[in-house]
Amino acid sequence: MDDSAGHRLTRERQRIVWQDTARGLGAMLVVAGHVERGLMTAGIGAAQVWHPLDFAIYTFHMPLFMLLSGLNVQASLAAGRRAFVRSKLLTVLYPYVVWSWVIGLFWLAFSGFTNHPFQWQSLLMIGWSPITLMWFLYALFIFMMVVMAIGPGRAIWLAIALFPFAEFFGRDTTLHQVLHFMLFFVVGVLVGGAPGLQRWRVRPWVAGGAALVYGAAVALALSAGFANYNSVLMLPGALGGSMLLVWVAQQAEGLDWLAWGGRRAMAIYVMHVPVTACLRILFQKVLHVPPMALPYGVVGLLGGVLLPLAAVEVMRRLALAPWFGLAVGPRGRAWIKG
């Protein structure tokens, strides 16, 4: 291999590493957000103390995940539409269905202990009404099919046109989430298709500007009592926070454990809510630990990240991960290519 080819390979690996690192950081923020919300709902700690953290996290962490999810779409489409659709059926839609049922059955089994009242009929409606956190995979599959059908160029104009209409629907409704987050996903698709992405780095002055925009947007919203972090008005904060975290991820490329966790972000995402709920029940109902926010929060964050990572490794060793949508086995790869 000549030197130029070696440099190209090195840059490609670096690009993959920072994306994985960003996913790892993003997954930790998702867990942190759900842990602090669980504590607020359970009355552990004052809501007024948690609210600024909640708003700061939710302003950008899901826009970030949508941007990251779009980066490799154009490369996947290069394999052909048939392979692309089969791949996303296996890696996005299948986990959505499986984990909707796993989480729904968990809530039914522990309905007397969790913060989420749940009815079994909700499991029959996941085709049009995702259960709580599973909306991400639901919306992601829709976005991928739209980009495949009309192309990224048309998709960005569609996303821009639909973006303001999200304001007419409730913040956590499926329609709002689809209309609002499509823009971030398609921006990720366009960025991922740009030449030289593997060499791209966020400059320090850009990161500083992003930090100022993000901080100012969050501070102004909090001071004005504005609560809708998914509003059109928070777009600068969402983009600024995402850019800032990408810069952090690029600085943290040497942390192999973080990139390793980022490659397993799906496992963290689908498992962390039942795990953190079980830990809170164990602390509160079984061990009778006094309701102190900091210990509950730290245990919830660590358990919500580490236990799903341990679980998916066990699944991989037992060849069960493909059955749960957390890996693609040999049969799955053959089906995608066929």
Is a pLDDT exceeding 70 seen at residue 45?
A: no
Is pTM, for the whole model, over 0.85? yes
Residue 112 pLDDT level (bands cut at 50, 70, 90): low
pLDDT tens, residue by residue, 117-165: 677 788 888 998 898 789 999 999 999 999 999 999 999 999 999 999 9
Could you tell me if residue 107 is left (phi over 0), alpha (psi between -120 and 50 degrees) or otherwise beta?
Answer: alpha
Mean predicted confidence (pLDDT) in 101-129: 80
What are the residue ranges spanned by the domains of the chain?
10-337
Is a pLDDT exceeding 60 seen at residue 320?
A: yes
Helix%, strand%, coil% for the chain, nearest 5 = 80, 0, 20
Is a pLDDT exceeding 60 seen at residue 2?
A: no
Centre a 10 Å sphere on the Cβ of residue 31 and count the other Cβ atoms it contains. Answer: 25
Mean predicted confidence (pLDDT) in 27-44: 86
Is a pLDDT exceeding 70 seen at residue 103?
A: yes
Backbone angles phi, psi at 101, to 5 degrees: -70, -40
Burial of 25 (0-12, 13-18, 19+ CB in 10 A): buried
Q: Are 112 and 164 in contact (CB under 8 A)?
A: no
First to last CA, the chain: 32
Q: Helices 81-88 and 135-162 meet at what angle, rounded to 10? A: 130
Mean predicted confidence (pLDDT) in 219-233: 93
Closest CA to 147 of 69, 62, 240: 69
Q: Pick the residue with more confidence: 105 or 313?
A: 313
- Cα(263)–Cα(23) distance, integer angstroms: 7
Is a pLDDT exceeding 80 seen at residue 198?
A: no
